Structure 1
């Protein structure tokens, strides 16, 4: 069975951007989308826990910091890797996310190749849980080769 990734993102453009980067990095993985923090928390109450959570911070209804706190306070989810994928480049947001238990922090970039490369590097410690495209981490190179014009 393919790994289940929960992608928590409210912005349509960022959702598309992140999905494209995931397609370059990973193969055959189910991606479930939650469009706000409340929807994410409801999804996490289901029986099947995700193998990985990609979490935006600036979300409607319940912000990403609160979602992260709830994840880390839930015994069944405390070991699930959480990578914060945020438009914020503020060091205070990165530090706060890491202190709350995020496994990594990737700032959204205007450049698709850079974003895909940073996401790939953030995913690499968890690669054994996923179907990965190619060998020797070529998705980083392909991400750079496929920059939009």
Structure 2
């Protein structure tokens, strides 16, 4: 590995960490943890609701974390948890009207900011950013997971 690759890996990860810090600070400013923001974000846009498994998949969080967040949102009246009509073992989490009122502005604002930040790039830059980020993530996952194989 050359010196330039090390420098660029450092810079890329630094920018990623800066983005995480922006989300974390934004969530705290609105009275929630970043992981809760991620959950309410996916639920807000899921009109029919979704399972906790789907929330885990969409937010890259553990079952335990999502379960705790959903329990807290349920206790606050921001979500409902109902059995799926075709399989009672499956629970569907849905945002309530109170939940939409609680997080609507926060979710719409951060989504709008993400969309506008992307729109400030040219279509070619957008394609490059997405493509290269996808490739970097796949490469990183392969290398991180290879540790368990060694």
TM-score (norm 1): 0.28
**In terms of Rg, which structure is larger?**
2
Greater relative contact order structure (CA < 8 Å, 6+ sep): 1
Higher strand share: 1
Higher helix share: 2
TM-score (norm 2): 0.28
